[in-house]
Structure formats: C-alpha cells, structure tokens
Amino acid sequence: MVNRMQFYIDGAWVDPVVAKATPVINPATEEAMYEVALGSKADVDRAVAAARRAFETYSQTSREERVALLAKIIQVYKTRMKDIGAAVSDEMGAPLPMAEKLQAGAGLGHLTSMLEVLKSYDFEEQLSSAVVVREAIGVVGMITPWNWPLNQITCKVAPALAAGCTMILKPSEFTPSSASLFAEILHEAGVPKGVFNLINGLGPEVGAAMSEHPEIDMISFTGSTRAGIDVAKRAAPTVKRVSQELGGKSPNIILEGADLAKAVTSGVALMFSNSGQSCNAPSRMIVPLSKMKEVAAIAKGVADKTKAGDPRAEGTTIGPVVNRGQWDKIQKLIQAGIDEGATLVAGGPGLPEGLNKGFYVRPTIFADVTNDMTIAREEIFGPVLTILGAADEADAVRIANDTPYGLAGYVSGPTFEIARSVGRKMRAGTVNLQGASYDRTAPFGGYKQSGNGREWGKYGLEEYLEAKAIAGVNAA
C-alpha cells in the first residue's frame, strides 16, 4: 500500500506538521483516485535538519560502500518495476506497456549507469604540488516534474548518492505514487536514515521553501522555464548552486537527400511519444521547402495511425495529457496555429473521435509553419508537430537556432558526415544524428533558456561535487 498521506523523513514515514491534502486525478477518467498530503515550510525544515545530520557521516563513506548501496538499490528496484509502471500510467496517463518498459525502465537505466560511473570515477587528481579533491557538495534539494517521474528522480538521486550527498526530494503533486514507491525501494535497500527524504507539496510552498533554505547547498530543478527562473531568484540570496533542466522547442532538421520516409516517420513518432510531454521532443520539423507537401503527407499517415485512448487498453499509442490545465493550454495553442494561418494537416481542437472524457489530445500536425508563429515559438507540451520549410541548409540551421531554447536537436542527412557538420552548428545541449537514441553516459542539459548544468553519467555526478585544492602536497 503506497503511503501518500505521510512523508519519508529521517528514515521513517511521518505525518505532516500541518494536515493538508489535494486529490490526485486520473487523466484518463477525470476522476479523483485518492488524496496526497501537501507539505509546508515546517516539513522542509524537519527534512533539512535530518539531511544535515546525515551528511556528517554519509559524506565520509567510501566508494566501496556507495557502490554496494547503489547495487542493492538496483536489485530492489527491479522487483518494483510493474508497481512503478502502474502508478505512472494511472497518474500521468502513459500507456501501461510504455510506462512499465520506458518510464520505469528509465529509472533503472540511470541507476545502472551511475553505478558504473562510480566504480571508476577519479575523486582525486594530482596537479603539480597540489591535490584536487572532489567531494560532496552537501544537502541537495530536488524538484522533479510529472512527465517522466522516475527518469527525473533517479538522474538526480543516483549521482547525489554516488557523490556522498544527502537530499530532500519534492516530486510533482500530480505523480506522487511513483516517488513514494521509490522511497520504499531506498528504505528496503538500506539507505541510511536522513540521507534521502521525501516531501510531497506544491511548488509555491515546498519548492519555494527549499529554494530559499540557507541549509540547502544545492537545488536541482527540472520543470518549466518560468518556474526555473523563480527557483533561481529565490536561491540567489543564499548563493547555492542551482542546476536546471528547463523547457525546449527542439528542431528536427531533415536535409535534402535524406531518407525522407524514414526520417519523417520516426520524427513524428518520437514527437507523439509520451503524448508529446517530453522537454526534448522534436517539435519543430525543418524540411526543404520543395518537400513540404510530401513531408506533410507522410506525417499525416503517421498521425492517422496514432491511436489516443485508454492507457490500459490494447492498441493504444498515446494516452491523455496529465491534467485539465495542460489540455486547455494545448487547445488554445492548436487554435492559435489555425488562426495564424498554418495548414492543419491532421488532428485539431477537441477530443479524439470516440472519446467523450479524459484529457486526450488529437495527434495534430501543422505544415507551412513560419518561425514567428506562436506554435513555433512556445513549448506546447502535447502531441502537436509543426513543420517549417527552409530554403537551404544554412537557412535550416538559422531557423533551428532562432529560439530562446536550446535543449536538444535532431538532424537527418544524406550521409552521417553531412548530418554531423550541421549538428555542430546547432546551439543545443544534445544533438542526435540519423535517428540515434540518447546515450545515458553522455551529458544531458540545455543552452540558453533550456537551463544550465548537466545530468546523466559522469557529468551528472560532477554537478554534485565541489573541487577542493590541497596545495603543498609533493607529487611524489
């Protein structure tokens, strides 16, 4: 039984200081499933005190001890994959097979990747007569979103544990159950009390209290650019480190001579995956102007085969978006695309055919989009693809970089060498060439208003470390 009305603090499930709760809505049915407790500044103070005490000892543990702990967490995590998948599916709407394999699987992937990094990471380096020691930054506040719950939790918690940090996690109030399951996993694996603490709550209350707290040394935040700016402002007076992974409006350049059917089909499918609720979704497909009609026809074929429906029904491709607020925002942006003159190729406003409830969005494609249109500028965070035309390769790169965001980019070309050349010109933290998948050992993060800092692999571990120079040490 998942504990939603208590918080995990100092190794135990405890009642909130002030009793307050909110319903958790199933986005497929629009019905309340249960309530989750909401925390306050007093709960944050209690968790920070526990984490501060635990840091004194946990930060001094050996690499071998932390390797053994991560290995045990992975062992326990594997036994709860179906529970995590079911919780994610019910709370944010991902189709159940996708939630079990990809949503829960992403968490396992980050844990496994970080274990391998920890085994060989060099925490000390000799430089002339000095030794540079990399040590845990301290107590970390973590604020995570609802769209990939376990992905974002584990890519913060795993490196923090590996570094020797202690932490307080505030997951999204829309997806609390998977986070509580993760707390159960850490408890069963033997994470020392106070090292990991969990408080459910709202951003303006718990998130703000964490960002401002003088005893929190670092904030790792994933969410919207608007919320990230607020976190940074609140953190500034205490001069804590702030690592942010924020919004995106990622370009997908398909060059002249690329395998058009393959590139467009995979690009549309990736855009629609997770109902478009991914910060790195390839939402702006940039194609040769001369190929616009051909691209639109291929894209429409993919949209017509994309089935929005019950996350637990066989044959469902995409589920609902997470809540009414997101649905309303997406509908307004779809209407803006129509009003501003883009060509509606597939989908459009309203619920998909055959559905009369749930926060479902019709898989939607716009062609003949220009980069000054609202749907090309704003992050929609739904299954809505915009197709833009470029005069040539240079124009495609210009359009790709003409955005306040810089999280991800995608390039398909006639050869790998040409794709790589274009990819090097893109102002984005991650660029995927020729349909390549993401590599969890490589850094993930953004340029510009997509954030700062990096997650995943060795670079993710280093976010949680301070560099200390100890001078006067003989090289011998």
Which amino acid does the sequence have at 455? E
What are the tokens at 365?
Answer: 């494609």
Q: Is the pLDDT of residue 313 over 80?
A: yes
Residues 350-392: pLDDT tens digits? 999 999 999 999 999 999 999 999 999 999 999 999 999 999 9
Please check the confidence at residue 475 and state whether its pLDDT lies above 60: no
Q: Sketch the domain layout of the chain as residue ranges.
A: 7-246+450-470, 251-439
Give the C-alpha distances (Å, rounded to integers) separating 441 from 316, 332, 344, 416.
31, 38, 39, 21
3-state secondary structure at position 98 = helix
Token pair, residue 141, equals 């506040």
Q: What does the alpha-carbon distance between residue 326 and residue 320 come to, in Å, rounded to a whole number?
A: 10
Residue 34 has pLDDT above 60, yes or no: yes
Please determine, for residue 159, whether its predicted confidence score (pLDDT) is greater than 70: yes
Q: Please write the tens of the pLDDT for every residue from 49-98.
A: 999 999 999 999 999 999 999 999 999 999 999 999 999 999 999 999 99
- The whole-number pLDDT of residue 260 equals 97
| DSSP-derived pairing of the beta strands 343-346 and 364-369 | antiparallel
Look up the CATH architecture of domain 7-246+450-470.
3-Layer(aba) Sandwich (3.40)
Strands 218-222 and 196-198, by their bridges, are: unpaired
- 89 to each of 32, 37, 98, 179, how far by Cα in Å? 15, 20, 8, 13
- Looking at residue 451, its pLDDT comes to 96
What b/e sequence results for 98-112 when a residue is b if at least 16 CB atoms lie within 10 Å of its CB, and e otherwise? bbbebbbbbbbbbbb
**Is there a catalytic annotation at residue 256?**
no
pLDDT reported for residue 474: 67
pLDDT at 344 over 60: yes
211-246 pLDDT, tens digit each: 999 999 999 999 999 999 999 999 999 999 999 999
315 burial level (CB within 10 Å; 0-12, 13-18, 19+): exposed
251-439 folds as Aldehyde Dehydrogenase; Chain A, domain 2 (3.40.309)
Answer yes or no: same fold for 7-246+450-470 and 251-439.
no
Strand order from edge to edge, sheet including 124-127: 124-127, 130-136, 465-470
Residue 2 pLDDT grade (very low, low, confident, very high; cuts 50, 70, 90) = confident
Q: What is the dihedral of CA 156, 172, 284, 384, to 10 degrees?
A: 150
Q: How far apart, in Å, are the Cα atoms of 364 and each of 267, 302, 373, 472?
A: 13, 10, 16, 64
165 noted as active-site residue: no
Q: What is the percent of the chain where pLDDT is above 70? A: 99
- In tens, the pLDDT along 399-437 reads 999 999 999 999 999 999 999 999 999 999 999 999 999
Helix (H, G, I), strand (E, B) or coil at 386: strand
- Residue 473: what pLDDT? 73
What pLDDT sits at residue 476?
A: 46
pLDDT band, residue 147 (cuts 50/70/90):
very high
For residue 1, pLDDT over 80 is answered with: no
Concatenated DSSP letters of 388-406: EEESSHHHHHHHHH-SS--
Q: Give residue 162's pLDDT.
A: 98
Helices 149-163, 81-92: axis angle to 10 degrees equals 130
What is 116-173 written as a DSSP string? HHHHH---EEEETTEEEEEEE--EEEEE--SSSHHHHHHHHHHHHHHHT-EEEEE--T
- Tell whether the model's pLDDT for residue 115 goes beyond 60: yes
Across the chain, mean pLDDT equals 97
Length of the chain: 476
- Report which residue type is found at 162: A
d(CA 247, CA 278): 9
Cβ atoms of 70 and 286 closer than 8 Å: no
Collect all residues with Cβ–Cβ distance below 8 Å to 313 and sequence separation of at least 6: none
Catalytic residue among 91, 100, 279, 462: 279
**Residue 387 pairs with which residues in a beta bridge?**
285
Q: For residues 211 and 234, is the Cβ–Cβ distance under 8 A?
A: yes
List alpha helices for 273-323, DSSP H.
Answer: 292-305
> Of 100, 173, 184, 245, which one is the catalytic site residue?
245
